[in-house]
Chains A and B, each alone.
Chain A
Amino acid sequence: MEVVFLTFILVLSVFLGFELISKVPATLHTPLMSGANAISGITLAGAFLSAGAMNSQMATILGTVAVTFATINVVGGYLVTDRMLSMFKSKSGDSK
């Protein structure tokens, strides 16, 4: 049943994703991509278990490296997206 439940979530999220993003102006393609990329660093939440469960030395090493890379993805991704978006300015001059 667990598998069916997870698949159910998957299918709904995919549809939701398509609905959410189908209409994005070309101006925002790069921020959208890098913002979405930052979200894919969510793997971080999963990496904690391998890194901290102390199952075996190998698992700890794999987990720690995973935590490091996923953090780079998350922190770098959000900061760089914010930096880009801070440059998008309207004619009225206020930064959006």
Chain B
Amino acid sequence: MSIDLIANLSYIVAAILFIFGLKMLGHPNTARRGNGFSALGMFIAVVAGLTAEGIVSYEYILGGIIVGSIIGTLAARLVAMTVMPEMVALFNGSGGIASLLVGWGTLYSGDVGTFTAITALLAILIGGVTFTGSLIAYCKLSETFISSGALVFTGQRVVNSLLLIGMIASAVMFCMNPSPDSQWLYVVVGLALVLGIMAVIPIGGADMPVVISLLNSYSGIAACAAGFAINNNILIVAGSLVGAAGIILTNIMCKAMNRSLANVLFSGFGSVKQSKAIEGEVKPISVEDAYYVLEAASNVCFVPGYGMAAAQAQHVVKELGQILEANGAEVSYAIHPVAGRMPGHMNVLLAEADVPYEQLVEMDDINPRIENVDVAIVIGANDVVNPSSREEDSPMYGMPIINVDKARTVFVLKRSMASGFAGVDNPLFFGENTRMLFGDAKESISGVISQFG
């Protein structure tokens, strides 16, 4: 049996492990083992890849693997759970730039046919967009260099369209005469990187769950294109699995906001004017009064949002939840699909704080029984609990929300009266049964806990 055949058979084993791994990631009981399966598949694929015909020197490969492993391990071990969205964005970006470089490197392998040239360019384009797009997403998430808001300027679409046309034109020019020395190649690489920046800049912080899952999908598609360029089955299989997974997640996120993908990508939400001002009175509540209400409550539901992550309040939230449970109340945590900055962001934070996942309920499960909730505690969430989405003239009309306004009492923990990311006033704050607990979420909850003590 030739080495090539063994390598290809190993790729089949790796593909099977990836498939089972992804399947098992779909259930909490098997998820960790599934991830292990997938890692084993990756190990087999990598070893098989090392036997590829034509590799004459291993020193650079080993060097790259060692450096990459050290950086990857340190990053994965040291990073705090609260910055997980940033971390995922950076890993995504690494995958993107790797695909770009593989596509580029392929062009040096001697005789480059038209098909190889086209697929290599696709890997460069998608990989480049993934790379800089992820870097911008990282900057927006961590608010380094740029703010998390949407950056929109007049003529943005025109500029982006021109960039896209310029990129396609240069790609065509390159493919007419594919040579690694062609100037068009550098133009394509440059434009792909610029396009990634331009594509993510107009998207605001609260839309990040969509962007991150979309970029995740792109990184898979880029790997897939690289697979076509170098004729490698496992890259195509694994890349398209990831691409499909990313698209599904993106779709779930878009549905949760009742917006189309095009709307998220191209419109700087929030520029819409509020049609009518909300009139009413805000009723603040003190920590002591909040304690009396909670002490008497028999069904309490926490509704966390990005503010909980920002205030790092997940541990005190869980502590309060435990106290309330000990006090005889039924406690649950209702999580909106787009709460936070990445898909499942709140779930990860609450898991970090040791909240058992049975207590985490999804929007569709809590809404039918929200009338039975004595106190809904909204922590740093705004748009996902904004009842104006039920009114036809609201810019948020149609977005499914957690109907906390239908609970018997609502506590809203909030720093100030500023409106949410969408820039739409929240009538919830003026509701008859709403009490505002102003201040830092972590301090407010600690205050309530000390009252119990």
Contacts and interface: CB of A to CB of B under 8 A. Distances in A.
A77 to B, nearest CB: 5
Contacts of B241: 13, 16-17, 20, 36, 39
A45 B60 contact: no
Interface string A37-70: 1111111111111111111101110111111111
A73 to B, nearest CB: 4
Interface stretch (B44-52, B157-165, B411-419): B44-52
B63 interface: yes
Contact of A32 (B25, B56, B101, B233): B25
Contacts of B54: 49, 52-53
Contacts of B48: 45
A79 B42 CA distance: 13
A8 B113 CA distance: 20
Interface string A10-49: 1001111110111111111111111111111111111111
B105 A76 contact: no
Interface stretch (B14-22, B297-305, B431-439): B14-22
A6 B212 CA distance: 28
Contact of A83 (B76, B91, B342): B76
B84 A43 contact: no
A42 B88 contact: no
Contacts of B362: 25-26
Contacts of B99: 43
A62 B105 contact: yes
Interface stretch (B168-176, B219-227, B267-275, B391-399): B219-227
A30 B343 contact: yes
Contacts of B245: 17, 20-21, 32-33, 36
Nearest to A52: B55
A52 B56 contact: yes
Contact of B49 (A24, A38, A44, A75): A44
B95 A41 contact: yes
B88 A34 contact: yes
A18 B110 CA distance: 37
Contacts of B75: 72, 76, 80
Interface in B356-413: 356-360, 362
A59 B69 contact: no
Contact of A45 (B22, B29, B46, B84): B46
Nearest to B364: A26
A75 to B, nearest CB: 3
A27 B360 contact: yes
Given A36-B241, A42-B42, A59-B108, A70 B68 contact: yes
B344 A28 contact: yes
B98 A43 contact: yes
B95 A31 contact: no
B324 interface: no
Contact of B72 (A65, A66, A75, A85): A75
A35 B108 CA distance: 32
B25 A76 contact: no
Given A6-B233, A10-B236, A75-B68, A29 B347 contact: yes
A42 to B, nearest CB: 4
Contact of B22 (A3, A21, A69): A21
B2 interface: no
Given A63-B101, A65-B101, A85-B31, A46 B230 contact: yes
B236 A31 contact: no
B180 A66 contact: no
Nearest to B79: A80
Contacts of B30: 96
A61 to B, nearest CB: 9
A68 B50 contact: no
Nearest to A67: B64
19 contacts: A13-B237, A21-B249, A28-B28, A29-B344, A31-B348, A35-B38, A38-B42, A39-B220, A46-B230, A52-B60, A59-B108, A64-B63, A69-B98, A71-B64, A78-B76, A79-B77, A80-B75, A80-B91, A89-B357
Interface of A: 2-3, 6, 9-10, 13-18, 20-56, 58-60, 62-91, 96
Given A39-B38, A87-B352, A96-B28, 8 more contacts: A29-B252, A39-B21, A40-B95, A60-B60, A67-B60, A71-B68, A76-B94, A78-B76
